[in-house]
């Protein structure tokens, strides 16, 4: 098992006494252990791509692979075993491929299990237009940070009387502060200039009002980062007209869900979007947000870009910035050259061809 | 009435599907003339009273434009103007009285201040008059370049309940709850309105937007109502789409959508997104309609009533409100006036000489209004 040394007096600001992004030593030369969930469908193939690329780039990561089980583990009430979750808690870093949700009752959904057990409170999606892959929008360069635990998705609904249903939206100071802190911290460590809080506080005065209050409090601690508040309808309209006006967006759960998918659509879809979930205690679980595509599973046709870019996010979290940059540039170069593109981008290359091209560019 | 004119009449009398401008945008008269075979009843030409609420911000500017154009075409409407500002505690009862009497209202914009204290006047108006359907027509205008083509979407949004019920409270300090209420009654009537609209306007498809995979009971109830109504209109295609996927598809392939029916919050987002891709909220018409009353206003306002710069320089875009007033004229059964107004506005947009800032130009409101007046048949 690899040892990790926490740097003293790190570049990361204090975050309410919690290390939200534990820095890892890059100079020790020791390998870092990371959990890998290849997932279902095309998952194993694209996980293989990631491993290959990491090998070529010389990333000192040792993978601990875990698979979704075939029976429900009573300790976790889901198909993910206790061991898998413990592994992520121990390693503090992980990469997850697409997982198909098993149908049926008596168990929690896989994503819900991961979120609750690991305390994943923020979902981060950087959306950048890929040079060379033409979509209708060329200048997208933003990051959406979405609160992932409460809000409208608390799952608290009930039928009051027949034909009348109530659904509760919960906003707490604690969760809002936590995600706001992470957003500003992310902006600072990644050289971003502006954070926009997205809300509908003119209608939902108390709930979104509380969210905004927390964002403002955190904004005061980061005077070098510009802060603004944008109403959600204005945000949607501006995103489709002129997405370059946004930098970092921080939002409660529902708006975050919609806006992050909208932004993914701007750059070309979920097959190209990286994503990372931040959890309590500095856990970082990078994941590919697309589906498991069972129809092309095993045929070497899948596009590994999303998982590769998510893996790059994971590397940056681990502060392996050198390798992260090299791999990122290799991916961008391969896509922009256009010689090796998988079917979903309009090309004819196979997964292994694309992976090899990326490796060659490193 | 002759059978042949019945379908034409139906199309003209109800809310409009977008009318393509004449193939060569001609600056003056002499374009293809629309003949309206419509037989009015005696007395239909008597002027109708319409409540006018200029509102805040750019509201007075754009309603002024509408009033000017209405005068020039001698439309048989006269306006009863009422002063309402966004920071008033409630809508004055005189205004509500007037709308109840006239049944039709044209509204500029009412700002809703952020933060505590004042409940939204827009919401109040909707609840009082039970305007349960909000309609936004989002379609491409020939001559106005956008990133997306073939956009022709009508977003029909439930307007009274859902996430905007305004029922919030603080449970303990630092924990706030907001109630989202969905009732079968409201879901059913909005679904009925959506399908009826599609039927009356020869629309082929209705899409219900929801998040029932997460909010199983609430959005599940909404979907149930939509499905029930869909079964009564076998000629209209019906499908459902999850709201986050919907936004992604709107950005990637908007041509797949036709009529969309949504609960309150999602409708707000979808309408603004659709308006954005088709040319911006400055040009999309829309309105709110209930059983007895109708209020016409700019379709999607993106939550603002214009910033100070636009106000000072008088560069607000009057197109949306002009087109909404054309919708209002049809609602009042004055189709030829509506057609003339719409044709003129579309000619001005297609020409491209007079465009306000949000469309990429530098004209003022007055210049655009004058251009519309000049282009009237």
Q: Kindly tell me the sign of the dihedral angle through the C-alpha atoms of B271, B272, B273, B274.
A: positive
Interface list for A 16-45 with B (CB within 8 A)? none
Q: Is B296 helix (H, G, I), strand (E, B) or coil?
A: strand
- In tens, the pLDDT along A87-131 reads 999 999 999 998 877 666 667 778 878 888 888 999 999 999 988
Please tell me which of the candidates B117, B177, B272 has its beta carbon nearest to residue A237. B272
User: What does the alpha-carbon distance between residue B153 and residue B165 come to, in Å, rounded to a whole number?
Assistant: 26
Cβ <8 Å between B217 and A159: yes
In the prediction, which pLDDT does B1 show? Answer: 45
CB contact under 8 A, A261 and B248: yes
Whether residue B181 and residue A165 make contact (CB cut-off 8 A), yes or no, is yes
Residue B157 to residue B274: CA distance in whole angstroms = 13
- Burial-class residue A77 by CB neighbours within 10 Å (0-12, 13-18, 19+): middle
Chain B contact present for A240, CB below 8 A = yes
Cβ neighbours of A62 (radius 10 Å): 13
**B100 three-state secondary structure:** helix
> Is the CB of A112 inside 8 Å of chain B's CB atoms?
no
Task: List the single best residue of B127, B150, B248, B264 to mutate versus A (max A Cβ within 10 A).
Answer: B248
Closest to B303 (Cβ–Cβ): which among A170, A234, A261? A234
Instruction: Collect all residues of chain A within an 8 Å Cβ-Cβ radius of residue B164.
Output: 203-204
Q: Cβ contact (<8 Å) for A164 and B183? A: yes
The HSE-up count of residue A99 (CA atoms within 13 Å, CB side) is 24
Contacts of A137 in chain B (CB under 8 A): 147
Strand-strand pairing, A157-161 and A164-172: antiparallel
| Residue B195: φ, ψ to 5° | -70, -35
Q: Find all residues with CB under 8 Å of A182, minimum gap 6, and list them.
A: A15, A20, A121, A122, A145, A278
Nearest CB to A169; choose among B115, B180, B184: B180
Ordered strands of the B175-183 beta sheet: A157-161, A164-172, B175-183, B168-172
pLDDT < 50 positions in chain B: 1-2, 15-30, 116-118
Q: B361 CA to chain A: closest CA distance, Å? A: 15
| A234 interfaces chain B, CB cutoff of 8 Å | yes
Per-residue pLDDT of chain A (362 residues), as tens digits, is 444 444 433 334 343 333 344 444 444 467 889 999 998 889 999 999 999 999 999 899 999 999 887 778 888 778 888 888 899 999 999 999 988 776 666 677 788 788 888 889 999 999 999 888 888 998 899 999 999 998 888 778 999 999 999 999 999 999 999 999 999 999 999 999 999 999 998 888 899 999 999 999 999 999 999 999 999 989 999 999 999 999 999 999 989 999 999 999 999 888 899 999 999 888 999 999 888 888 888 888 888 999 999 999 999 998 888 989 999 999 999 988 888 888 888 888 888 889 999 999 88
On whether any CB of chain B is under 8 Å from the CB of A345, the answer is no
Provide, as residue numbers in chain A, all residues whose Cβ is less than 8 Å from the Cβ of B140.
Answer: none
* Mean pLDDT of the residues in chain A: 86
**Partner B contacted by A344 (CB < 8 A):** no
- Residue B343 three-state SS: helix
Residues within 8 A of B (CB atoms), A 135-164 only: 136-137, 152-153, 155, 157-159, 162-164
User: Which residues on chain B are in Cβ contact (under 8 Å) with A229?
Assistant: 114
Interface mutation vs chain A, best among B150, B158, B177, most A CBs within 10 Å: B177
* pLDDT in the model for residue A9: 37
Distance CA A186, CA A248 (A): 9
Q: Which of residues 70-89 of A touch B (CB under 8 A)?
A: none
Q: Within a 10 A sphere around the Cβ of A18, how many other Cβ atoms?
A: 12
CA triple A219-A220-A223, angle to 5 deg? 85
CA distance A68 to A43: 12
Q: What's the Cα-to-Cα distance from A212 to each of A15, A113, A219, B315, rounded to whole Å?
A: 18, 29, 10, 31
Cβ–Cβ gap A168/B179 under 8 Å: yes
Q: How many CA atoms lie within 13 A of A107 on its CB side?
A: 22
Reference B272, options B237, B304, B294, B312; nearest CA is: B304
Say if the Cβ atoms of A174 and B243 lie within 8 Å.
no
Q: How far apart are the first and last CA of chain B?
A: 27
Q: Taking CB atoms and an 8 Å cutoff, what residues of chain B touch A202? A: 112-115, 120, 303
| Enclosing H/E stretch for B67 | helix B59-72
Query: For A277, how many CA atoms within 13 A lie in the half-sphere containing its CB?
Result: 23
Q: Residue B227 CA to chain centroid, in angstroms? A: 25
Is B180 in contact with A166 (Cβ distance < 8 A)? Answer: yes
Residue (of B123, B279, B262) closest to A200 by Cα position: B123
The distance of B177 to chain A (nearest Cα, Å) reads 5
Flag if B303 and A169 touch (Cβ within 8 Å). Answer: no
Q: Name which of B178, B252, B301 is nearest A265 (Cβ-Cβ).
A: B252
Residue A105 at interface with chain B, using a CB cutoff of 8 Å? no
Q: A-chain residues within 8 Å CB-CB of B300? A: 233, 237
Residue whose C-alpha is closest to residue B24's, from B371, B253, B346: B346
Contact between A258 and B148 using a beta-carbon 8 Å cutoff: no
Measure in Å the smallest separation between the Cα of B205 and chain A Cα atoms: 23
Substitution target in B127, B266, B276 with the highest count of A β-carbons within 10 Å is: B276
């Amino acid at each position: 098992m690899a040892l990790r040394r926490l740097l003293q007096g790190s570049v990361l600001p204090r975050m309410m006494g919690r290390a939200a992004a534990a820095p890892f030593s890059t100079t020790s030369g020791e390998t870092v252990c990371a959990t890998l969930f290849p997932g279902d469908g095309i998952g194993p193939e694209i996980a293989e791509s990631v491993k290959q690329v990491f090998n070529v780039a010389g990333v000192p990561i040792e993978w601990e692979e875990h698979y979704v089980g075939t029976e429900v583990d009573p300790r976790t009430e889901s198909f993910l075993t206790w061991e898998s979750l413990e592994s992520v808690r121990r390693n503090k870093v992980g990469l997850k491929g697409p997982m198909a949700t098993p149908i049926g009752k008596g168990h929690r959904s896989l994503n819900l299990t991961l979120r609750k057990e690991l305390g994943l409170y923020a979902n981060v999606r950087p959306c950048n237009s890929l040079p060379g892959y033409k979509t209708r929008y060329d200048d997208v360069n933003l990051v959406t940070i979405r609160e992932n635990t409460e809000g409208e998705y608390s799952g608290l609904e009930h039928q009051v009387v027949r034909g009348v249903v109530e659904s509760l939206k919960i906003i707490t100071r604690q969760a809002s502060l936590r995600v706001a802190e992470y957003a500003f911290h992310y902006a600072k460590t990644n050289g971003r200039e502006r954070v926009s809080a997205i809300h509908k506080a003119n209608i939902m005065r108390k709930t979104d009002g509380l969210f905004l209050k927390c964002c403002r409090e955190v904004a005061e601690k980061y005077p070098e980062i510009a802060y603004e508040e944008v109403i959600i309808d204005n945000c949607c309209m501006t995103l489709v007209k002129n997405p370059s006006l946004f930098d970092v967006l921080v939002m409660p759960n529902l708006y975050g869900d919609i806006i992050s998918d909208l932004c993914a659509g701007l750059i070309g879809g979920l097959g190209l979007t990286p994503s990372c979930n931040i959890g309590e205690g500095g856990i970082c679980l990078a994941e590919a947000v697309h589906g498991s595509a069972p129809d092309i599973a095993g045929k070497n046709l899948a596009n590994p870009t999303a998982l590769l870019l998510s893996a790059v996010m994971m590397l940056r979290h681990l502060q392996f910035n050198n390798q992260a940059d090299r791999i990122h540039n290799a991916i961008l170069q391969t896509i922009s050259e256009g010689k090796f593109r998988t079917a979903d981008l309009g090309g004819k290359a196979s997964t292994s061809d694309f992976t090899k091209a990326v490796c060659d560019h490193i | 009435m002759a059978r042949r004119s019945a379908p034409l009449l139906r199309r003209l009398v109800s809310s409009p599907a977008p009318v393509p401008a004449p193939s060569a945008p001609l600056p003056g008269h002499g374009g293809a003339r629309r003949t309206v075979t419509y037989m009015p009843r005696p007395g239909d030409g008597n002027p109708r009273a319409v409540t006018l609420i200029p509102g805040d911000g750019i509201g007075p500017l754009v309603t002024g434009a509408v009033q000017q154009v209405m005068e020039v075409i001698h439309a048989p409407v006269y306006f009863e103007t009422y002063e309402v500002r966004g920071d008033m505690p409630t809508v004055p009862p005189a205004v509500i009285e007037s709308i109840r009497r006239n049944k039709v209202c044209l509204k500029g914009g009412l700002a809703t201040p952020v933060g505590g204290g004042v409940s939204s006047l827009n919401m109040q108006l909707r609840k009082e008059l039970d305007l349960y359907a909000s309609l936004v027509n989002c379609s491409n205008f020939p001559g106005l370049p956008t990133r997306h083509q073939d956009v022709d979407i009508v977003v029909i949004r439930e307007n009274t309940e859902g996430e905007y019920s305004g029922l919030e409270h603080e449970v303990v300090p630092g924990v706030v709850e907001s109630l989202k209420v969905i009732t079968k009654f409201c879901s059913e009537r909005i679904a009925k309105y959506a399908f009826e609209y599609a039927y009356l306007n020869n629309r082929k498809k209705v899409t219900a937007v929801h998040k029932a995979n997460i909010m199983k009971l609430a959005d599940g109830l909404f979907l149930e109502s939509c499905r029930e109504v869909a079964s009564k209109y076998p000629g209209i295609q019906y499908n459902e789409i999850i709201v986050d996927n919907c936004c992604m598809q709107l950005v990637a392939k908007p041509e797949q959508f036709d009529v969309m029916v949504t609960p309150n919050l999602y409708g707000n987002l979808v309408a603004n997104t659709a308006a954005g891709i088709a040319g911006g909220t400055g040009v999309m018409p829309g309105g709110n309609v209930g059983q007895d009353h109708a209020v016409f206003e700019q379709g999607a306002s993106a939550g603002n009533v214009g910033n100070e710069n636009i106000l000072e320089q008088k560069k607000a875009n009057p197109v949306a409100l002009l087109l909404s007033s054309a919708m209002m004229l049809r609602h009042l059964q004055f189709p030829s006036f509506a057609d003339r107004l719409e044709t003129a506005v579309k000619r001005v947009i297609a020409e491209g000489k007079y465009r306000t800032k949000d469309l990429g130009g530098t004209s003022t409101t007055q210049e655009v209004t004058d251009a519309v007046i000049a282009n009237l048949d």
